[in-house]
């Protein structure tokens, strides 16, 4: 796989490998989750809750302190406050914040760190790999899940597939 931008030297998992990561996972913790419907994290959370079987957890220390909810679900102040160890830690934070998120994810025993679209930090990726974690960067969990499960057309993407068969929503 070639890197998309010339200053990027790290290469992430292939499409089949990303599909495998999604298939082996049952829970996702969204770090940097927002209760604002206009935010990407809220859009992704809405999709995950309505179109997948993932157990979704929300991390936002400011909202948690206020007792806030996101899409009717409890918000936690940190990964270590979760009642479970999530399979995927989905990150909506600034790139410079991601090494700290990797540390926190490693400390609780998470196995996959997924940095959302536009988030790229090779230091964080190498740190996660040194801990034996899988890493995905600059990819959207929602888009990847929909792509692998025939749902991109529902989001307005031209998938190039013409079929009268209904796609199965299988994880």
Radius of gyration of the chain (CA): 16
Whether the CB-CB separation of 12 and 135 falls below 8 Å is answered with yes
Q: How confident is the model at residue 114 (pLDDT cuts 50, 70, 90)?
A: very high
Q: What is the mean pLDDT of residues 121-141?
A: 96
Q: What pLDDT score does 149 carry? A: 76
User: pLDDT tens across 68-83, in order?
Assistant: 999 999 999 999 999 9
User: pLDDT tens across 6-50, in order?
Assistant: 678 888 899 999 999 999 999 999 999 999 999 999 999 999 999
Q: What pLDDT score does 8 carry? A: 82
Q: What pLDDT score does 164 carry? A: 54
Q: How confident is the model at residue 171 (pLDDT cuts 50, 70, 90)?
A: very low
Question: Sign of the C-alpha dihedral, residues 23, 27, 33, 34?
Answer: positive
Please give the model's pTM, rounded to 2 decimal places: 0.84
């Amino acid at each position: 796989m070639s890197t998309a931008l010339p200053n990027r030297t790290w290469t992430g998992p292939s499409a089949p490998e990303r599909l495998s990561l999604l298939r082996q996972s049952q829970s996702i913790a969204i770090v940097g989750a927002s209760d604002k419907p206009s935010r990407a994290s809220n859009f992704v959370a809405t999709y995950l809750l309505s179109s997948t079987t993932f157990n979704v957890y929300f991390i936002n220390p400011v909202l948690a302190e206020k007792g806030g909810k996101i899409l009717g679900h409890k918000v936690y102040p940190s990964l270590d406050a979760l009642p479970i160890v999530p399979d995927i830690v989905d990150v909506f934070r600034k790139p410079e914040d991601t090494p700290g998120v990797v540390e926190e994810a490693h400390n609780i025993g998470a196995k996959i760190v997924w940095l959302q679209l536009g988030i790229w930090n090779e230091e964080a990726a190498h740190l996660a790999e040194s801990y034996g974690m899988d890493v995905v960067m600059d990819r959207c969990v929602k888009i990847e899940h929909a792509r692998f499960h025939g749902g991109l057309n529902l989001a307005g993407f031209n998938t190039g597939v013409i079929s009268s068969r209904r796609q199965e929503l299988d994880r």
